[in-house]
Chain A
Amino acid sequence: MSLDRRRFAALLAAGAASAVSLREVGAATKHRVGEIIEGEDLPAREASWYRKLEEDRVECELCPQACTVADAERGTCGVRENRRGIYYTLVHSLACSVHADPVEKKPLFHVMPGELALSYATAGCNVECKFCQNWEISQFRPEQVRSVYLPPEALVEAAKKSGARLTAATYSEPVVFWEYVRDAARAARKAGLAPTVVSNGYIQAKPLKEVLPLLRAVKIDLKSFRETFYRDQLRAKLKPVLESLEIIRKAEVWLEIVVLLIPTLNDSEGEVRDLARWVKTNLGADVPVHFTRFHPTYRLTNLPPTPVPTLERAWNIARAQGLNYVYLGNVPSHPGENTVCPGCGEVIIRRLGYRILENRLVEGACPDCKREIPGVWR
């Protein structure tokens, strides 16, 4: 997933890079568009969400960790550094992964099916999931991974060249590069692209509300419906994530939720039922919920992959609780990949993994019973 020069060049194609490489973009920086950056020579920009404390200390106001950071230190995310009382983000425009993915990979199943999303990430994350699938970028500091200087305008150029109609901040944790997300979303909107975000939702209300109006869709990983899980597996809290979900739902932004089911840790009937009930009550029955299959990785290698029957049980529980769009992920060819009309029960969008096999949607509605299917379809 990480980027090398060859892949970057291929992605941008000949014209895209040169179109923006002749000038510096954004704040004063010595880096040039497309430059591979390794080591400590990072493009620092003052962070947008923090407050100054006495004696050159700062408090980060971006995520609920609310790190108090002394001079020369960094927050939990590892990408924000206090330099004599000014807090800097070290990852604005510093993409360590860039790839054009099907939007189904995010997964966003109700957003422009079959289209590509130019997906990008920087190093860093504000939590430490023991089961992180992308820990080789999310759990490292920016100087520890190979990155490319890719300011928002260049990102958008790359998206257009790759044929993507969406952008997606994803792979690691977009909250930690929220200024980059904001500026890239602005540039994407301006270019007629649909900016999206794939996040853990662990963010304070103010920065979330400031950027939401720029986004078309957000996918949130709801890691569990238990505080104990968040404490023990992420060293974080559940409550702020639920608050973020409610804020996103109230905004004019499409929302989907993914729940990675991990055997014995968050897959009990009771927890799945509680989660589904909460979603229906607080977010509505039309918010898609994806239950996806866990594979052992990072610090959680002692558990087996999630058995398919466990996923199917969650699928059935959530639908029985009244959720209209429940999906299964990482189980290719399972019927749980398909979008089914809640009105007549007919399959509207048939999928195989990240591929669309059939899309019968007509003007955002079921072709059979004419029921409107919510989503961002164009």
Chain B
Amino acid sequence: MTRKLSRREFGALVGGVAVVGIADGSDTTVPSGVVTGRGVVGVARIEGETTGRLDEAAVEAAMSAALKAATGADNEVLAVRSLFSSTDVVGIKLNCLGGKRLSPRPELVNALVDHLIAGGVVPRNIILFERSSRELERAGFEISRSGDGPRCFGTDNDYDRQPSISGSIGSCFARLVSERCSALIGFGVVKDHDLAGVSASLKNWYGVIHNPNKYHDNQCDPYVADVVRHPLIRDKLKLTVLDGVTAQCHGGPAYRASGIFPLGRLVASTDPVAADLWAWRVIDEERTRRGMPTLEAAGRQPRFISTAASHGLGVGDPSQLIEVEV
């Protein structure tokens, strides 16, 4: 059973911990790293249009609310500073396999970038990336490799020269992740996956290894968890954001119109496992509403979630999921 908390309740819950002392905004010196968040998923509503371009003010408000809810911080600047330092090179891994209709919306990504900059991250040290530049372009992103602003480009086969082992996987990681970025954000969507069950938070990191096609048997388990528990990801991953304005409950990972439903949510969490738990739940809720079998009944429950939890990557027990609605 998931616990749903309002932001006020959540604030009371975590107020005595790391956020104490910065609540009045006068002290913005917050140690880098996750200050709170195991099991916490910040969920912001985005009202209005869900198929076209979103209202800018609504996007900004939702992103701000989700970040605050995820971190327990009183404002978005503190939220960012609780996770990133001004010297960080922050890589934002987008999941653009679904093309323009099922990828993180550029306006949401831009809102996150704006908050990072407001929180002190140097613009040129923000890198939006996917496996290939072509995928980014198809999803509506503009490629940018230079200048003073944020970068946006595909890793385009620039991998480590030798594979490294993590549990059952042996893979070359994108050098962008292994060498250039000091901090990572996963920015996915909320969608069904034909083999893994869910592709939202953890599965997104398949996009930084050279050989993801080798690891789709057995419902991607334990491989998804093995990728994310590699120190290159585990030690750098600070935040997960999910574009749940529209979601897909069936027919993924590619876009499939019949599986799309308006969810109207933007999610942020410092717990990548909890973010997947949340995505699993809302996908199953929609499937049930439609009279479809749950993912488990369909024989493809995302087992990698509990495996990831067993490696200490986050909360995998639904009863420990703390949904902070804002």
List residues of A whose CB falls within 8 A of some B CB.
39-40, 55-57, 65, 67-68, 70-78, 128, 130, 135, 139-141, 143-144, 235, 298-299
Contacts and interface: CB of A to CB of B under 8 A. Distances in A.
A57 B210 contact: no
B217 A73 contact: no
B213 A77 contact: yes
Contact of B211 (A40, A67, A140): A140
Interface of B: 97-98, 132, 134, 156-157, 159, 163, 165, 170, 193-195, 210-211, 213-214, 216-217, 251-254, 256
A141 B251 CA distance: 24
B256 A55 contact: yes
Contacts of B132: 39-40, 143
B217 A70 contact: no
B217 A235 contact: yes
A124 B41 CA distance: 39
Contacts of B210: 139-141, 144
Contact of A73 (B134, B157, B170, B253): B253
B206 to A, nearest CB: 11
Contacts of B252: 70
A74 B157 CA distance: 17
Nearest to B193: A70
B254 A298 contact: no
Contacts of A73: 194-195, 216, 253-254
Given A70-B195, A143-B157, A130 B213 contact: no
Contacts of A40: 132, 134
B316 to A, nearest CB: 25
B256 A76 contact: no
A39 B154 CA distance: 11
Contact of B213 (A55, A71, A76): A76
A72 B217 contact: no
Given A39-B156, A57-B194, A72 B213 contact: no
A119 to B, nearest CB: 24
27 contacts: A39-B156, A40-B134, A55-B256, A67-B216, A68-B194, A70-B193, A70-B251, A71-B254, A72-B98, A72-B254, A73-B195, A73-B253, A73-B254, A76-B214, A76-B217, A77-B213, A78-B213, A128-B211, A128-B214, A135-B163, A139-B214, A141-B210, A141-B213, A143-B157, A235-B214, A298-B170, A299-B163
Contacts of A39: 132, 156-157
